[in-house]
Amino acid sequence: MQQIDKTPRLTDAGYIRDLLERHGFHFSKKLGQNFLINPSVCPRMAEACGIGPDGGVLEIGPGIGVLTRELARQAGRVVAIELDDRLPPVLAETLAGVDNVSFVWGDRMKLDLRRILQEQFGDRPVAVCANLPYYITSPIIMMLLESRLPVDNITVMVQKEAAQRLCAAPGTREAGAVTLAVQYYAEAQTLFGVSRGSFMPAPNVDSAVIRLRIRKQPPCAVRNEALMFRLIRAGFNQRRKTLLNSLTGAGYAKEALAAAFETAGIAPTARAEQLTLPEWAAIADALTQ
Ligand code: SAM
Protein backbone atom coordinates (compact mmCIF):
# COMPACT_ATOMS: atom_id res chain seq x y z
CA MET A 1 0.00 0.00 0.00
CA GLN A 2 1.28 3.49 -0.88
CA GLN A 3 2.52 5.72 1.94
CA ILE A 4 -0.17 8.33 1.41
CA ASP A 5 -1.76 10.02 4.41
CA LYS A 6 -5.28 9.01 5.17
CA THR A 7 -5.94 12.70 5.42
CA PRO A 8 -9.35 13.43 6.90
CA ARG A 9 -9.30 16.95 5.49
CA LEU A 10 -10.90 16.12 2.17
CA THR A 11 -14.03 14.97 3.98
CA ASP A 12 -14.08 17.98 6.30
CA ALA A 13 -16.79 20.40 5.19
CA GLY A 14 -14.98 23.42 6.70
CA TYR A 15 -11.72 22.57 4.91
CA ILE A 16 -13.54 22.03 1.60
CA ARG A 17 -15.37 25.37 1.88
CA ASP A 18 -12.09 27.16 2.53
CA LEU A 19 -10.29 25.28 -0.27
CA LEU A 20 -12.99 26.04 -2.82
CA GLU A 21 -13.29 29.66 -1.76
CA ARG A 22 -9.53 30.17 -2.14
CA HIS A 23 -9.80 28.78 -5.69
CA GLY A 24 -12.93 30.76 -6.51
CA PHE A 25 -14.71 27.47 -7.25
CA HIS A 26 -18.50 27.10 -7.22
CA PHE A 27 -20.27 23.74 -7.48
CA SER A 28 -21.71 23.02 -10.92
CA LYS A 29 -25.14 21.39 -10.80
CA LYS A 30 -24.89 20.74 -14.52
CA LEU A 31 -21.79 18.56 -13.98
CA GLY A 32 -23.41 16.66 -11.11
CA GLN A 33 -20.92 17.95 -8.55
CA ASN A 34 -21.83 16.45 -5.18
CA PHE A 35 -18.55 15.75 -3.41
CA LEU A 36 -18.22 12.94 -0.85
CA ILE A 37 -17.71 14.07 2.74
CA ASN A 38 -18.46 10.79 4.56
CA PRO A 39 -15.00 9.49 5.56
CA SER A 40 -15.99 5.82 5.58
CA VAL A 41 -17.22 5.64 1.98
CA CYS A 42 -14.04 6.08 -0.11
CA PRO A 43 -12.00 3.38 1.69
CA ARG A 44 -14.89 0.95 1.24
CA MET A 45 -15.23 1.76 -2.45
CA ALA A 46 -11.50 1.42 -3.04
CA GLU A 47 -11.45 -1.94 -1.24
CA ALA A 48 -14.51 -3.14 -3.17
CA CYS A 49 -12.79 -2.69 -6.52
CA GLY A 50 -10.12 -5.03 -5.20
CA ILE A 51 -7.10 -3.54 -6.97
CA GLY A 52 -3.81 -3.73 -5.08
CA PRO A 53 -0.28 -2.42 -5.71
CA ASP A 54 0.05 -4.44 -8.94
CA GLY A 55 -3.03 -2.96 -10.55
CA GLY A 56 -4.54 0.24 -11.85
CA VAL A 57 -7.78 2.14 -11.39
CA LEU A 58 -9.52 4.41 -13.83
CA GLU A 59 -11.57 7.03 -12.02
CA ILE A 60 -14.20 9.15 -13.74
CA GLY A 61 -14.79 12.58 -12.23
CA PRO A 62 -12.27 12.99 -9.36
CA GLY A 63 -13.76 16.30 -8.18
CA ILE A 64 -11.42 17.53 -5.45
CA GLY A 65 -9.75 14.11 -5.22
CA VAL A 66 -11.24 12.51 -2.11
CA LEU A 67 -11.77 9.10 -3.73
CA THR A 68 -8.69 9.54 -5.93
CA ARG A 69 -6.49 9.82 -2.86
CA GLU A 70 -7.86 6.64 -1.34
CA LEU A 71 -7.53 4.76 -4.64
CA ALA A 72 -3.92 5.96 -4.88
CA ARG A 73 -3.27 4.56 -1.39
CA GLN A 74 -4.56 1.11 -2.29
CA ALA A 75 -3.76 0.67 -6.00
CA GLY A 76 -0.47 0.85 -7.90
CA ARG A 77 -1.61 3.55 -10.26
CA VAL A 78 -4.68 5.77 -10.79
CA VAL A 79 -5.76 7.63 -13.90
CA ALA A 80 -8.56 10.12 -13.36
CA ILE A 81 -10.65 11.71 -16.12
CA GLU A 82 -12.20 15.07 -15.30
CA LEU A 83 -14.24 17.38 -17.49
CA ASP A 84 -14.23 20.52 -15.32
CA ASP A 85 -11.24 22.63 -16.35
CA ARG A 86 -11.47 24.70 -13.12
CA LEU A 87 -10.26 21.70 -11.09
CA PRO A 88 -6.55 21.27 -12.06
CA PRO A 89 -5.23 23.84 -9.53
CA VAL A 90 -7.49 22.42 -6.80
CA LEU A 91 -6.30 18.86 -7.46
CA ALA A 92 -2.68 20.02 -7.64
CA GLU A 93 -3.15 21.18 -4.04
CA THR A 94 -5.17 18.26 -2.65
CA LEU A 95 -3.00 15.58 -4.27
CA ALA A 96 0.36 17.28 -3.74
CA GLY A 97 3.02 14.62 -3.08
CA VAL A 98 0.90 11.76 -4.45
CA ASP A 99 2.95 10.51 -7.39
CA ASN A 100 0.95 7.56 -8.71
CA VAL A 101 -2.00 9.59 -10.05
CA SER A 102 -2.29 11.17 -13.46
CA PHE A 103 -5.12 13.13 -15.03
CA VAL A 104 -6.79 13.19 -18.39
CA TRP A 105 -8.78 16.37 -18.91
CA GLY A 106 -11.85 15.94 -21.08
CA ASP A 107 -15.30 14.45 -21.46
CA ARG A 108 -15.43 10.80 -20.54
CA MET A 109 -18.07 10.26 -23.20
CA LYS A 110 -15.73 11.46 -25.96
CA LEU A 111 -12.38 9.91 -24.99
CA ASP A 112 -10.82 6.74 -26.37
CA LEU A 113 -10.74 4.78 -23.12
CA ARG A 114 -9.30 1.62 -24.65
CA ARG A 115 -6.25 3.56 -25.79
CA ILE A 116 -5.92 5.34 -22.41
CA LEU A 117 -6.09 2.01 -20.55
CA GLN A 118 -3.49 0.42 -22.83
CA GLU A 119 -1.12 3.39 -22.60
CA GLN A 120 -1.47 3.90 -18.86
CA PHE A 121 -1.85 0.38 -17.51
CA GLY A 122 -0.54 -2.06 -20.14
CA ASP A 123 -1.38 -5.57 -18.97
CA ARG A 124 -2.04 -4.76 -15.31
CA PRO A 125 -5.41 -5.71 -13.78
CA VAL A 126 -7.68 -2.67 -13.96
CA ALA A 127 -10.94 -1.54 -12.38
CA VAL A 128 -13.13 1.49 -12.98
CA CYS A 129 -14.14 3.27 -9.79
CA ALA A 130 -16.19 6.46 -9.55
CA ASN A 131 -18.78 8.51 -7.81
CA LEU A 132 -20.69 9.10 -11.02
CA PRO A 133 -22.49 12.31 -11.88
CA TYR A 134 -26.19 11.39 -11.72
CA TYR A 135 -27.03 13.07 -15.00
CA ILE A 136 -25.17 10.50 -17.10
CA THR A 137 -25.04 7.39 -14.90
CA SER A 138 -26.67 4.92 -17.28
CA PRO A 139 -25.03 6.23 -20.48
CA ILE A 140 -21.59 6.02 -18.83
CA ILE A 141 -22.19 2.51 -17.51
CA MET A 142 -23.60 1.26 -20.82
CA MET A 143 -20.74 2.83 -22.76
CA LEU A 144 -18.20 1.19 -20.44
CA LEU A 145 -19.89 -2.20 -20.83
CA GLU A 146 -20.60 -2.05 -24.55
CA SER A 147 -17.08 -0.99 -25.43
CA ARG A 148 -15.90 -4.24 -23.76
CA LEU A 149 -12.98 -2.58 -22.05
CA PRO A 150 -10.44 -4.96 -20.56
CA VAL A 151 -11.44 -4.25 -16.95
CA ASP A 152 -12.12 -6.59 -14.06
CA ASN A 153 -14.97 -4.63 -12.51
CA ILE A 154 -16.82 -1.33 -12.46
CA THR A 155 -17.43 -0.16 -8.89
CA VAL A 156 -19.51 2.99 -8.83
CA MET A 157 -21.74 5.19 -6.72
CA VAL A 158 -25.10 5.81 -8.35
CA GLN A 159 -28.50 7.11 -7.30
CA LYS A 160 -30.30 4.50 -5.16
CA GLU A 161 -33.10 4.06 -7.71
CA ALA A 162 -30.56 3.54 -10.50
CA ALA A 163 -28.83 0.89 -8.35
CA GLN A 164 -32.16 -0.91 -7.89
CA ARG A 165 -32.76 -0.89 -11.64
CA LEU A 166 -29.23 -1.85 -12.66
CA CYS A 167 -28.97 -4.72 -10.15
CA ALA A 168 -32.62 -5.92 -10.23
CA ALA A 169 -33.42 -9.62 -10.35
CA PRO A 170 -35.05 -10.67 -13.64
CA GLY A 171 -38.83 -10.80 -13.51
CA THR A 172 -39.16 -8.16 -10.76
CA ARG A 173 -40.90 -4.80 -11.07
CA GLU A 174 -37.56 -2.92 -10.94
CA ALA A 175 -36.10 -4.88 -13.86
CA GLY A 176 -35.97 -3.06 -17.19
CA ALA A 177 -34.12 -3.13 -20.50
CA VAL A 178 -30.98 -1.75 -18.83
CA THR A 179 -31.05 -4.57 -16.22
CA LEU A 180 -30.84 -7.19 -18.96
CA ALA A 181 -28.14 -5.25 -20.81
CA VAL A 182 -26.05 -5.09 -17.62
CA GLN A 183 -26.62 -8.80 -16.97
CA TYR A 184 -25.37 -9.67 -20.41
CA TYR A 185 -21.99 -8.07 -19.75
CA ALA A 186 -21.57 -8.34 -15.98
CA GLU A 187 -22.65 -9.79 -12.66
CA ALA A 188 -24.22 -6.88 -10.82
CA GLN A 189 -24.40 -6.45 -7.07
CA THR A 190 -25.45 -3.62 -4.75
CA LEU A 191 -22.77 -3.35 -2.06
CA PHE A 192 -24.01 -0.67 0.36
CA GLY A 193 -26.28 2.33 0.62
CA VAL A 194 -25.01 5.90 1.10
CA SER A 195 -27.26 8.59 2.55
CA ARG A 196 -27.70 12.00 0.91
CA GLY A 197 -26.01 13.64 3.92
CA SER A 198 -22.72 12.02 2.85
CA PHE A 199 -22.30 14.63 0.10
CA MET A 200 -21.60 18.33 -0.22
CA PRO A 201 -23.86 19.83 -1.36
CA ALA A 202 -26.40 17.17 -0.31
CA PRO A 203 -28.50 15.94 -3.27
CA ASN A 204 -32.25 15.27 -2.97
CA VAL A 205 -31.76 11.53 -3.30
CA ASP A 206 -29.91 8.70 -1.57
CA SER A 207 -27.20 6.70 -3.29
CA ALA A 208 -25.73 3.22 -3.37
CA VAL A 209 -22.43 1.68 -4.41
CA ILE A 210 -22.73 -1.11 -6.94
CA ARG A 211 -20.13 -3.44 -8.39
CA LEU A 212 -20.37 -4.90 -11.88
CA ARG A 213 -17.94 -7.80 -12.27
CA ILE A 214 -17.28 -8.11 -15.98
CA ARG A 215 -18.06 -11.54 -17.40
CA LYS A 216 -15.42 -13.32 -19.49
CA GLN A 217 -18.24 -14.80 -21.59
CA PRO A 218 -21.83 -13.61 -21.97
CA PRO A 219 -24.36 -15.83 -20.14
CA CYS A 220 -25.98 -16.87 -23.45
CA ALA A 221 -24.98 -17.07 -27.10
CA VAL A 222 -26.81 -14.89 -29.62
CA ARG A 223 -26.09 -14.37 -33.33
CA ASN A 224 -27.11 -10.73 -33.49
CA GLU A 225 -26.58 -8.89 -30.21
CA ALA A 226 -27.79 -5.57 -31.62
CA LEU A 227 -31.08 -7.13 -32.70
CA MET A 228 -31.54 -8.78 -29.29
CA PHE A 229 -31.07 -5.43 -27.52
CA ARG A 230 -33.43 -3.68 -29.96
CA LEU A 231 -36.09 -6.29 -29.15
CA ILE A 232 -35.51 -5.94 -25.41
CA ARG A 233 -35.83 -2.14 -25.58
CA ALA A 234 -38.98 -2.34 -27.71
CA GLY A 235 -40.49 -4.94 -25.36
CA PHE A 236 -39.83 -2.89 -22.21
CA ASN A 237 -40.97 0.35 -23.84
CA GLN A 238 -44.48 -1.00 -23.63
CA ARG A 239 -44.08 -3.49 -20.86
CA ARG A 240 -47.80 -3.78 -20.05
CA LYS A 241 -48.59 -5.10 -23.51
CA THR A 242 -47.97 -8.67 -24.60
CA LEU A 243 -44.61 -8.99 -26.32
CA LEU A 244 -46.26 -9.92 -29.58
CA ASN A 245 -48.12 -6.58 -29.58
CA SER A 246 -45.29 -4.39 -28.30
CA LEU A 247 -42.82 -5.76 -30.85
CA THR A 248 -45.38 -5.48 -33.66
CA GLY A 249 -45.88 -1.85 -32.62
CA ALA A 250 -42.10 -1.36 -32.86
CA GLY A 251 -42.10 -2.33 -36.53
CA TYR A 252 -41.71 -6.10 -36.66
CA ALA A 253 -44.15 -8.11 -38.83
CA LYS A 254 -46.65 -10.04 -36.72
CA GLU A 255 -46.35 -13.27 -38.75
CA ALA A 256 -42.54 -13.29 -38.52
CA LEU A 257 -42.76 -12.61 -34.79
CA ALA A 258 -45.35 -15.31 -34.17
CA ALA A 259 -43.18 -17.82 -36.04
CA ALA A 260 -40.07 -16.73 -34.11
CA PHE A 261 -41.95 -17.07 -30.79
CA GLU A 262 -42.98 -20.59 -31.72
CA THR A 263 -39.43 -21.57 -32.73
CA ALA A 264 -38.10 -20.08 -29.48
CA GLY A 265 -40.79 -21.79 -27.38
CA ILE A 266 -42.20 -18.51 -26.03
CA ALA A 267 -45.94 -18.12 -25.39
CA PRO A 268 -47.51 -15.37 -27.57
CA THR A 269 -49.06 -13.93 -24.40
CA ALA A 270 -45.68 -13.44 -22.65
CA ARG A 271 -44.69 -9.97 -21.39
CA ALA A 272 -41.21 -8.42 -21.54
CA GLU A 273 -40.50 -8.76 -17.82
CA GLN A 274 -41.20 -12.52 -17.86
CA LEU A 275 -38.41 -13.39 -20.26
CA THR A 276 -34.86 -14.38 -19.35
CA LEU A 277 -31.83 -13.35 -21.40
CA PRO A 278 -31.54 -16.78 -23.11
CA GLU A 279 -35.20 -16.46 -24.13
CA TRP A 280 -34.61 -13.01 -25.68
CA ALA A 281 -31.58 -14.50 -27.44
CA ALA A 282 -33.73 -17.37 -28.76
CA ILE A 283 -36.28 -14.92 -30.24
CA ALA A 284 -33.51 -12.84 -31.84
CA ASP A 285 -31.91 -15.99 -33.27
CA ALA A 286 -35.24 -17.19 -34.63
CA LEU A 287 -35.78 -13.81 -36.33
CA THR A 288 -32.24 -13.94 -37.76
CA GLN A 289 -32.75 -17.35 -39.42
N1 SAM B 1 -15.14 11.89 -7.07
C2 SAM B 1 -15.57 13.12 -6.44
C3 SAM B 1 -16.21 12.80 -5.09
O4 SAM B 1 -16.60 11.65 -4.90
O5 SAM B 1 -16.33 13.69 -4.27
C6 SAM B 1 -16.54 13.91 -7.31
C7 SAM B 1 -17.78 13.21 -7.75
S8 SAM B 1 -18.98 14.27 -8.51
C9 SAM B 1 -20.46 13.32 -8.16
C10 SAM B 1 -18.84 13.94 -10.26
C11 SAM B 1 -17.56 14.45 -10.93
O12 SAM B 1 -17.61 14.11 -12.32
C13 SAM B 1 -17.37 15.96 -10.89
O14 SAM B 1 -16.04 16.26 -10.53
C15 SAM B 1 -17.68 16.42 -12.32
O16 SAM B 1 -16.99 17.61 -12.68
C17 SAM B 1 -17.20 15.21 -13.13
N18 SAM B 1 -17.85 15.03 -14.45
C19 SAM B 1 -19.10 15.34 -14.81
N20 SAM B 1 -19.35 14.98 -16.09
C21 SAM B 1 -18.18 14.42 -16.57
C22 SAM B 1 -17.80 13.86 -17.83
N23 SAM B 1 -18.64 13.79 -18.85
N24 SAM B 1 -16.52 13.41 -17.98
C25 SAM B 1 -15.64 13.48 -16.93
N26 SAM B 1 -15.97 13.98 -15.70
C27 SAM B 1 -17.22 14.46 -15.52
SS3 192: strand
* pLDDT value at residue 2: 63
Closest residue to atom 23 of ligand 1, CA basis: 107
* Number of other residues whose CB lies within 10 A of the CB of residue 11: 19
CATH level 3 topology of 225-288:
Helicase, Ruva Protein; domain 3 (1.10.8)
Instruction: State the distance from the centre of ligand 1 to the C-alpha of 204, rounded, in angstroms.
Output: 17
CB 195 within 8 A of CB 206: yes
Report CA(255)–ligand 1 centroid distance (Å).
48
- Which atom of ligand 1 approaches the CA of 68 most closely? 1
Residues of the chain with CATH 3.40.50.150: 13-214
The best mutation among 10, 44, 131 to test binding of ligand 1, ranked by most ligand atoms within 8 Å of the C-beta, falls on: 131
Decide if 170 contacts 179 (C-beta within 8 A). Answer: yes
Q: How high is the mean pLDDT in each 10-residue block of the chain (289 residues)?
A: 68 95 96 96 97 97 97 97 96 95 91 93 96 92 93 97 94 90 97 98 97 96 94 90 87 90 92 92 91
Tell me how far CA of residue 71 lies from CA of 95, 126, 202, in angstroms: 12, 12, 23
List strand residue ranges (DSSP E) for 201-243, in order.
207-214
Nearest atom (ligand 1) to Cα of 33: 8
**If you measure from the C-alpha of residue 150 to the centroid of ligand 1, how many angstroms do you get, rounded to a whole number?**
22
How many whole angstroms from 83 Cα to the centroid of ligand 1?
7
Pocket of ligand 1 from Cβ distances under 6 Å: 31-36, 60-63, 66-67, 81-84, 107-109, 131, 133
In terms of CATH architecture, what is 13-214?
3-Layer(aba) Sandwich (3.40)
Return the pLDDT at 74: 96
Mutate which of 29, 70, 108 for ligand 1? The one with the most ligand atoms within 8 Å of its CB, which is 108
156 forms bridges with which residues in the sheet? 130, 210
Question: The dihedral of CA 11, 17, 22, 25: what is its sign?
Answer: positive
What's the 172 CA to ligand 1 centre distance in angstroms? 31
Q: Compute the distance from residue 5 Cα to the ligand 1 centre, in Å.
A: 23
- The pLDDT score that the predictor gives to residue 148 is 92
Sign for the CA dihedral angle at 85, 89, 90, 95 comes to positive
Could you give the CA distance from residue 182 to residue 89 in angstroms, rounded to a whole number?
37
* CA distance to 36, 201, 203, 206, per residue, from 196 (Å): 10, 9, 6, 5
How much is the pLDDT for 1? 65
Look at ligand 1, atom 18, and give the residue with the nearest C-alpha. 61
Report the alpha-carbon distance of residue 56 to residue 100 in Å, rounded.
Answer: 10
Give 238-269 as a DSSP string.
TTTS-HHHHHHHTT--HHHHHHHHHHHT--TT
Beta-carbon contacts of residue 134 (< 8 Å; ≥ 6 apart): 32, 34, 158, 159, 162, 203, 205
Model pLDDT, residue 206: 98
End-to-end CA gap in the chain: 54
Residue 7: predicted pLDDT: 58
Residue 56 to residue 245: CA distance in whole angstroms: 48
* Count of C-beta atoms within a 10 Å radius of residue 104: 16
Distance CA 211, CA 191 (A): 7
| Portions of the chain given CATH number 1.10.8.100 | 225-288
DSSP H helical ranges for 62-199: 66-74, 88-94, 113-121, 137-146, 160-166, 177-185
Atom 3 in ligand 1: which residue has the minimum CA distance?
Answer: 35
Ligand 1: which of 10, 83, 87 to mutate, most ligand atoms within 8 Å of CB?
Answer: 83
